[in-house]
């Protein structure tokens, strides 16, 4: 039994569309084994919205199911995560090494 086939070749995954930080956040929840309803509660949205996001993620990554998505994420995690990635707002200037000017 060979490897499961992807819908797209790995080199084609990022040709047309990249994953958004929000989609990467959802992929992390899927990888952790959360169900759509549980993910919806975590990100304060509906289960139907999560289903739509996951379908789009499947198309972008070329996988067919949640198990393949989790494996895909674990293989590609290092190229998806940036130390400055903040899913809930702009990066903290201190995290970027930027110091605020001291008041005189």
What residue ranges of the chain have pLDDT lower than 70?
Answer: 1-17, 81-104
User: Per residue in 18-39, pLDDT tens?
Assistant: 888 899 999 999 999 999 999 9
Residue 53: the pLDDT is: 95
Q: What is the dotted CATH code of the domain comprising 18-80? A: 1.10.10.10
pTM: 0.64
Domain definitions of the chain by residue range: 18-80
| Predicted pLDDT of residue 98 | 42
H/E/C letters for each residue in the chain? CCCCCCCCCHHHHHHHCCCCHHHHHHHHHHHCCCCHHHHHHHHCCCHHHHHHHHHHHHHHHCCCCHHHHHHHHHHHHHHHCCCCCCCCCCCCCCCCCCCCCCCC
* pLDDT for res 4: 59
- Which pLDDT value is given to residue 79? 76
């Amino acid at each position: 039994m060979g490897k499961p086939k992807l819908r797209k070749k790995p080199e084609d995954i990022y040709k047309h569309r990249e994953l958004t930080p929000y989609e990467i956040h959802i992929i992390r929840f899927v990888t952790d084994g959360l169900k759509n309803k549980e993910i919806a509660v975590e990100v304060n949205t509906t289960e139907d919205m999560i289903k739509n996001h996951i379908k789009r993620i499947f198309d972008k990554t070329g996988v067919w199911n949640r198990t393949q998505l989790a494996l895909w994420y674990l293989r590609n995690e290092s190229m998806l995560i940036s130390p400055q990635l903040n899913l809930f707002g702009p990066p903290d200037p201190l995290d970027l090494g930027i110091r605020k000017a001291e008041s005189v």
